[in-house]
Amino acid sequence: MAARRIDAELLVDVLRPVVAQFDPVWVEVYPPEYSERQVFPDKPGVGWMLYLPREIIAQQVPEAAALVPMAGRDGRRRGTVVLSVVDEVFDGQNPRHIEAAANIDIRMVDQDLMPCYSDLWPAT
């Protein structure tokens, strides 16, 4: 049996049971070298893909390469995975990929769709 190449579809398929089982506050997927290139260091970044537990539609983020709704165990919508690149593996050193992710991050922040880490992990 041939090994399956890691691609956007495979990673979204991996996220489905994670979202259904654990109902995460957010999930970021990007290569390590991208973390230094994020536009907003105090917020999650789209990178290759970002899951947030909220409904996001194409009219809100037209720069997204894809928006994938995610459901919980009950079958109800839990949130959305926002993808910056779908036709190839995200490369944290590829200027085209970095620009795509940055444009989505900026649009999401402008529309108050991107929370701050401090809102996701409030002080106790």
Tens digit of each residue's pLDDT, the chain (124 residues): 445 567 899 999 999 999 999 999 999 999 988 888 889 999 999 999 999 999 999 999 999 999 999 998 888 999 999 999 999 999 999 999 999 999 999 999 999 999 999 988 766 5
CA distance 61 to 103: 9
For residue 101, give its domain range: 8-116
Can you give the pLDDT at residue 44? 94
Can you give the pLDDT at residue 1? 46
In a domain, 123, yes or no: no
CB 67 within 8 A of CB 82: yes
In a domain, 80, yes or no: yes
- Cβ contacts of 120 within 8 Å, gap of 6 or more: 25, 26, 44
In a domain, 16, yes or no: yes
What does pTM read for this prediction? 0.91
In a domain, 19, yes or no: yes
Q: Which helix (H) or strand (E) holds 69?
A: strand 66-71
In the chain, the number of structural domains is 1
In a domain, 1, yes or no: no
Give the model confidence (pLDDT) of 39-64 as tens digits.
999 999 999 999 999 999 999 999 99
CB 61 within 8 A of CB 67: yes
In a domain, 78, yes or no: yes
In a domain, 109, yes or no: yes
- CA Rg, the chain, in Å? 14
- 98: nearest Cα among 36, 52, 42: 36
In a domain, 17, yes or no: yes
